[in-house]
Structure 1
Amino acid sequence: MRKTHALIQVVLALMEDPDGRHWGYELSKQSGVRSGVLYPMLRRMLDDGWLEDGWEEPSEATGKRPPRRYYKLNAEGQAAAVAILSEARQDARFRALVGRPAL
C-alpha cells in the first residue's frame, strides 16, 4: 500500500487501540481523514488481509440507528502497521505525524 499522510494518520488511529473494534465515523474523526478517502483505504486494508470487519449486534445499537460496521486489525495488520510506522519515522515527509526516529 502506498504510504500517504492519510494512511499514516489512519494507522496511528488504529494503533491507539490495536486490539479494539473501530467504527468508520470515529476513525475519520480521530485520524482527521475524510470519509471519501477513509472508506476506500479501509477496503484496501480488508482486501490486503490487514483488517477483519463485522457488524455491531443490534442489541448494542442505541436509539433508532442501524448497527454499525466495525473494523479490527488482525495480527497481519498489526505487523504491517508497526512496519509502516517504523518506515514513516525514517521518512522526512511523515516526521510531523510520527515524530523523530529513535536513536
Structure 2
Amino acid sequence: MTSPVRVTAAVSKVLAAFLEDPEADRYGLDLMRATGHPSGTLYPILLRLQNAGWVEAVWEEIDPAEASRPARRYYRLTPDGLIAARTEIADLRRQLDRAHIVSKPSPA
C-alpha cells in the first residue's frame, strides 16, 4: 500500500539526487553528499519514500571482512517512484517559475 508523500524542499533534493541517474543504486553516504542532508534528515526521508512505494532498498551481499567495510544498503527509485519524482520536481519547477514571474518588477 502506498502512502502520500509531502514533498518538502528536503524531499525534493533527495528526489532530484535520484533523478540524476534513475537506474543507479545509491547508498546513504552517497545521498548525503549529493543532497547536503545529514543522516538524521536523510534516513527518515528515505523511510517515508519506501513506505510510499517510491523507493526500494536492498542490502548488498558482501563479506564485510573481505571488503574491509560494512555492507551498504542501496536505494533505488521504483517505477512508480520514478514517475512520482519526475512529476513532483516538474511541479516544483513550475511553481518556482510562477513565483519568479509574479515577483519580477514591472519594466519602467
After the TM superposition, which segments of 4 or more aligned residues of structure 1 sit over 2 Å from their partners?
59-63
Report the TM-score when normalising by structure 2. 0.78
Letter in 1 for 2:62: P
Gaps of 5+ in 2: 100-108
Gaps of 5+ in 1: 96-103
Output one character per residue of 1:18-51: Cα deviation in whole Å (capped at 9) or x when no partner.
0110001110111111211110000011111111
Distance 2:95 2:76 in 1: 27
For 1:7, which of 8, 11, 32 is the aligned residue?
11
Report the TM-score when normalising by structure 1. 0.82
Q: Is the 1:61–1:67 Cα contact (8 Å) retained in structure 2?
A: no
- Residues 36 and 83 (structure 1 numbering): CA distance in 2 closer, same or farther, change over 3 Å? same
Aligned counterparts, 1:1-103, within 5 A: 1-58=5-62, 63-92=67-96
| Greater CA drift, 62-71 or 47-56 | 62-71
Residue-pair matches, total: 95
**What is the CA RMSD across the aligned residues, in angstroms?**
2.3
Query: What fraction of aligned residue pairs are identical, expressed as a percent?
Result: 38
Alpha-carbon deviation of 1:3? 2.2
The structure with the largest alpha-carbon Rg is: 2
Distance 1:31 1:75 in 2: 22
